[in-house]
Amino acid sequence: MRVRSISYLPLLFPLAIGFFSCAGNKYQNMAHINPAALVALEDSLSISGLSPSMTKSLTFAHNRLGSKELETNNYEAAIFHFSNALKLSDGDTLSQYNLLLAEGHSLYKRGNKNRLWDAIQKYNKAAQLKPRLGEAHYYIGLSYHKIGDTDFDLIIESYEKALRLSLNPDIMQKTKEQLSLALEREKRLKDFWK
């Protein structure tokens, strides 16, 4: 009777791969589930050197946290997170785009004319970075309106351009409302001077 030798290597190989990739998966999961906890570990992880998967996870975590801060109008915290994401991955266009929006919002919030022109520049750079998205054009229109609500050409053009591009439903509704108000104000002003 002949005894066969059984090789366990093919059975153990997937386990070994899983063992060595667990750390990467752990950080990816943490970036999705609890990005603040991963960011809190960033300094200690950096000491031993960041692997590409850790860098990707930390970039994702900073972008998630920055987006949350952007949603709650905490622009300085959003700027902090998007800037840190860019330090980790300087070519990340999503981080660049969101940083420009957050900086533009911060300048818009301050409201004086010089800051509003600076905000328009930030929004314009964001629009160039993601030319298929209309959100930056919506904010350009708001900024032009805040500078002076009689330059209807620039205001209306910005809102119309935003509507031709991709917008989330909330911004799309706001853009339609602002465009309608601008058109109504323009008509009233023209009627007044007839």
Q: How far apart are CA 165 and CA 153, in angstroms?
A: 18
Residue 162: the pLDDT is 97
Q: How far apart are CA 43 and CA 33, in angstroms?
A: 19
* CATH among 3.40.50.880, 1.10.3720.10, 1.10.10.10, 1.25.40.10 for 93-194: 1.25.40.10
What average pLDDT does the chain have? 86
Count of C-beta atoms within a 10 Å radius of residue 71: 9
pLDDT for residue 68 is more than 60: yes
pLDDT-based confidence at residue 149 (cuts at 50, 70, 90): low
Residue 8: the pLDDT is 34
Count of C-beta atoms within a 10 Å radius of residue 90: 9
CATH 1.25.40.10 domain residues, the chain = 93-194
Nearest to 161 by CA among 127, 117, 111, 115: 127
Residue 148: the pLDDT is 82
pLDDT in tens, 23-54: 557 888 888 899 999 999 899 888 988 999 99
Q: Which residue did the predictor score with more confidence, 2 or 155?
A: 155
Segment 1-19 mean pLDDT: 36
pLDDT in tens, 176-193: 999 999 999 888 877 777
